[in-house]
Structure 1
Amino acid sequence: MVLGWRRRKNNNNKLNVEVVIPKHFTCPISLDLMKDPVTLSTGITYDRESVEKWFDDGNCTCPVINQIVRNFDMIPNHSLRVMIQDWCVENKQHGIERIPTPRIPISPFEVAELLIQVKASARGLDQHGCLELVQKMKRLGCEMERNKKCIVENGALGALASAFDAFANDSIEGNVSVLEEILSALNWMFPLQFEAHKSLGSKASLTCMVWFLKHQDLSKKEMSIAALKELLSFGDNKHVETLSEIEGVYELLIEFINKGISPTITKASMSVVWYLVSSSSPSSEKMKLAFIELGLVSSLLDILIDSEKSLCEKTSAIFDSLCSTPQGREKAYGNDLTVPLLVKKILRVSAITTDNSVSCIWKMCKFGEKVDERKVLVEALQVGAFQKLLLVLQVGCGDEIKEKATELLKLMNPYRVDLECIDSDYKNVKRSF
């Protein structure tokens, strides 16, 4: 029996040969030639990649007979694989390439043995031994997705984070090679698991990552800022406090945001800044002031002019957080871009950006001096804020933003008689640097 046929080109580039694939050589799921046939407990054979994806998607039945699978072991069907390989060789002249013999997946026991060696080399500060082990782990993970999953699920993140902390504690410059390799492996295994937090969030580990940001090349900077972003995303104030105490970290983040050396670094730096200024740690206000003094308000406004959705959301969120402080509002009042840009972003990018923009304008009106409040209200009216706020209420928003938008409309209403809306195009407004 055959499933179908394929046309192949001969040497003269003409379609004149039909190659028929035997039905029992094709996977019942993908209907393609099987590269790594495995047999389930139900007795049905599938290609390993296809059936693993079937189970990963949440299915628990055998696709062909719809029987519940209680034993998910997959037995390699070596005989069928050899038959498929022989068939490929026989049809080589028709353009059929021989499927390679699949590598044997790594087992949890092998991963455990590998991690024991990693921990031992870290305790002994054997950087060369640890380097070879981490490289081996990466090679195995790159061979197949199943290996990567097995390595991560059996504790690799915790072991590698612990090793990173050990070598960073010993000497950063003296252990650069192994620290880079471990950080690369950790990036490959993200998202982080709980057991890796303590080690990767230690002062030594965070100092090492900041050192990489200062002294290493672009790829190492990207790995380090991605690791910081991943670590801070869990909201542990201890990590926030520890990072904020490392010398030069504020200046470094501002530099990455301003220079835009790579989109990856810019976005990740914005996320790190957001985690710092929005945390509930005792030093949160101190962090906001540090960023404000370094000119972050002006930098955020410049980014808001022309940025894609995710970056715009991060930027507006940080700006809203900085506007919670008198110093942040003072910088916002003094920048000609502030009000036109915030109004422009309402209902223009996303619901998140709209909420942040409304919140910023509300804070500038609610908590500023009378002269500043009037200036903001008048300028907002002139660039169309009143109409946009009405639309925000009509299309729907959260209760908090609804209250702020309503209050802003009430504050603006007395000024509407003497003012008319002008063109809200902010491109000709003088920029502050």
Structure 2
Amino acid sequence: MVRERVVDLCITVPTFFKCPISLDVMKSPVSLCTGVTYDRSSIQRWLDDGNNTCPATMQILHTKDFVPNRTLHSLIQIWTDSVHHRVDPPVSPSVLSKDQILQAINELGSSGSNRFGSITKTVRFAQDSDQNRAFLAKLDGFVPLLVSFLDNVDGSVEFLEQIVTALGLVLDKIEDREELKNHVLKGKKRLCLDSMLVVLKRGSTDSKIATARVLKFISLDAESQLLIGENETLITELLNLATPEKDPKLIENCLACLVAISKPKRNKLKLVKIGVIKKLSKLLTESNTSVTVVEKALKLVETASSTSEGRKEMCEDAAFVAAILNKVLKVSNVATEHAVTTLWSVCYLFRDQKAQEAVTQANGLTKILLMMQSNCSPQVRQMCTDLLKIFRVNSKSCLSSYETKTTHIMPF
């Protein structure tokens, strides 16, 4: 290692050139959100092991993204050249060959072997490259083997986490989604969903994200959506994980899963029953919610508004209606379309008086007029025209004489 070679030459390595984890000279320094710099391979292993803290400060990481520290990299390179030594990469575990991973998978399927060690090797192999993930996904019997462990809960949360993580890594390479759906949802007593619930309740953030991704992936049709929706505890847990204090990526994936399974009316009603409106209200009134989370939250709101129960709960909360209106033109075109569709549904299609009053009090008329002169889609423009007709009738202001064909707002 570099530090040993330098010691032999009686040359001192600057402390800030060393990775705090490996204590070797860094080859590819990257900085976390805490400002601490590590060698890329060392911190990646730390994060891949499920840790969500900065190793040096033990601060909780709000994001696991890191950025290259190019200045430090240049300094290390200059120093290395000055002592005529090439900086070697930190010692890392040897990369498994395909023969070795085949052996690990064989051991995984054998009783009495170190299954946890085998699945850990498999996960690391999948994380190593896109090519490896494709190899595993196409390997005959690999995906059914993983699912078989979900269908036979052994009580080890850590093992279940590794299984779901492995599934999540190869999802995009699986060609037969129908086969995976059948394996997961048509097993004995659907224990796979129970295993996934265990991970959602007790697993790490990354394994919870993987679980939500797998559930969304297999939500192919009404049958699969209804089968997942039958497990009310499962969808309740997904909803509980979509709260402002959770990891943004976790919120996004849980909402995406709920959107995917919410198409059947039975599931829509179940979501309303377990409190989806109140949960979404918290997300939409939070100022720091990401664009993708807002889009998916508004999509769920739109879905809930298609039921009388959802509309009733929604319209009882004027602040919630105002929060939906507030997202118009402020987030993205997708968010705007979902918000306008919801407002059109409750105010125009179903003529809810409370919703109309809430929109009026929140200066909704101005928003609608602005929307009509914006570069919105024809569908959104038509819904705004319909909404304006409602408010022209109800409004006692000068806006009651506003002509819907006008494409601008008068400055007086």
TM range (shorter): 0.5 to 0.7
Distance 1:240 1:154 in 2: 29
Residue in structure 2 matching 1:227, options 195, 211, 214:
214
| Normalised TM-score (structure 1) | 0.63
The answer to whether the Cα contact below 8 Å between 1:119 and 1:163 also exists between their aligned partners in 2 is: no
Q: Name the SS for the 1:154 alignment partner.
A: helix
The answer to whether the Cα contact below 8 Å between 1:270 and 1:315 also exists between their aligned partners in 2 is: yes
Q: Deviations over 1:331-387 (max 9, x none)?
A: 111102133222221111111111111111111123435xx33x4334423432222
The answer to whether the Cα contact below 8 Å between 2:108 and 2:119 also exists between their aligned partners in 1 is: no
Residue 86 of structure 2 aligns to which amino acid in structure 1?
E
Residue in structure 2 matching 1:212, options 196, 199, 204:
199
Answering whether residue 152 of structure 2 is matched by residue 170 of structure 1, we say: yes
Residue in structure 2 matching 1:338, options 320, 323, 331:
320
Distance 1:106 1:219 in 2: 23
Q: Superposition pairs for residues 139-154 of structure 1, below 5 Å?
A: 139-140=124-125, 145=128, 148-154=129-135
Distance 1:345 1:225 in 2: 26
Distance 1:137 1:154 in 2: 11
| Normalised TM-score (structure 2) | 0.66
Residue 162 of structure 1 aligns to which amino acid in structure 2?
P
In the other structure, the counterpart of 2:277 is 297
Q: Superposition pairs for residues 31-46 of structure 1, below 5 Å?
A: none
Answering whether residue 174 of structure 2 is matched by residue 185 of structure 1, we say: no
Give the deviation of 1:259 after TM superposition: 7.1
Residue in structure 2 matching 1:315, options 297, 300, 306:
297
Change (3 A) 1:298 1:170: closer
Q: Superposition pairs for residues 42-121 of structure 1, below 5 Å?
A: 94-99=83-88, 111=98, 114-115=101-102, 118=105, 121=108
The answer to whether the Cα contact below 8 Å between 1:381 and 1:419 also exists between their aligned partners in 2 is: no
Residue in structure 2 matching 1:265, options 250, 264, 276:
250
RMSD after superposition = 3.7
Answering whether residue 265 of structure 2 is matched by residue 285 of structure 1, we say: yes
Q: Deviations over 1:183-210 (max 9, x none)?
A: 2333344535234634355533333111
Residue in structure 2 matching 1:358, options 312, 334, 340:
340
In the other structure, the counterpart of 1:391 is 370
Change (3 A) 1:101 1:388: closer
Change (3 A) 1:380 1:150: closer
Answering whether residue 392 of structure 2 is matched by residue 416 of structure 1, we say: no
Residue 194 of structure 1 aligns to which amino acid in structure 2?
E
Residue 83 of structure 2 aligns to which amino acid in structure 1?
H
Give the deviation of 1:304 after TM superposition: 0.7
Q: Name the SS for the 1:395 alignment partner.
A: coil
Residue 244 of structure 1 aligns to which amino acid in structure 2?
G
Distance 2:273 2:245 in 1: 20
Residue 206 of structure 1 aligns to which amino acid in structure 2?
L
Q: Name the SS for the 2:172 alignment partner.
A: coil
Give the deviation of 1:392 after TM superposition: 1.8
The answer to whether the Cα contact below 8 Å between 1:345 and 1:354 also exists between their aligned partners in 2 is: yes
Q: Is the deviation greater in 215-224 or in 243-252?
A: 215-224
The answer to whether the Cα contact below 8 Å between 2:157 and 2:198 also exists between their aligned partners in 1 is: no
Residue 293 of structure 1 aligns to which amino acid in structure 2?
K
In the other structure, the counterpart of 1:84 is none
Residue 210 of structure 1 aligns to which amino acid in structure 2?
L
The answer to whether the Cα contact below 8 Å between 2:200 and 2:238 also exists between their aligned partners in 1 is: no
Distance 1:310 1:162 in 2: 32
Q: Deviations over 1:189-233 (max 9, x none)?
A: 45352346343555333331112223445554344334334444x
Give the deviation of 1:261 after TM superposition: 3.7
Give the deviation of 1:313 after TM superposition: 0.8
Change (3 A) 1:265 1:409: same
Distance 1:349 1:133 in 2: 45
Answering whether residue 226 of structure 2 is matched by residue 241 of structure 1, we say: yes
Distance 1:328 1:222 in 2: 27
User: Mind listing any 5+ residue stretches in structure 1 that lack a counterpart?
Assistant: 1-9, 14-32, 34-87, 422-433
Q: Report the count of equivalent residues.
A: 318
Give the deviation of 1:255 after TM superposition: 2.2
Give the deviation of 1:311 after TM superposition: 1.2
Q: Name the SS for the 1:342 alignment partner.
A: helix
In the other structure, the counterpart of 1:252 is 237
Give the deviation of 1:319 after TM superposition: 0.4
In the other structure, the counterpart of 1:17 is none
Q: Name the SS for the 2:296 alignment partner.
A: helix
The answer to whether the Cα contact below 8 Å between 1:192 and 1:230 also exists between their aligned partners in 2 is: no
Structure of larger gyration radius: 1
In the other structure, the counterpart of 2:17 is none
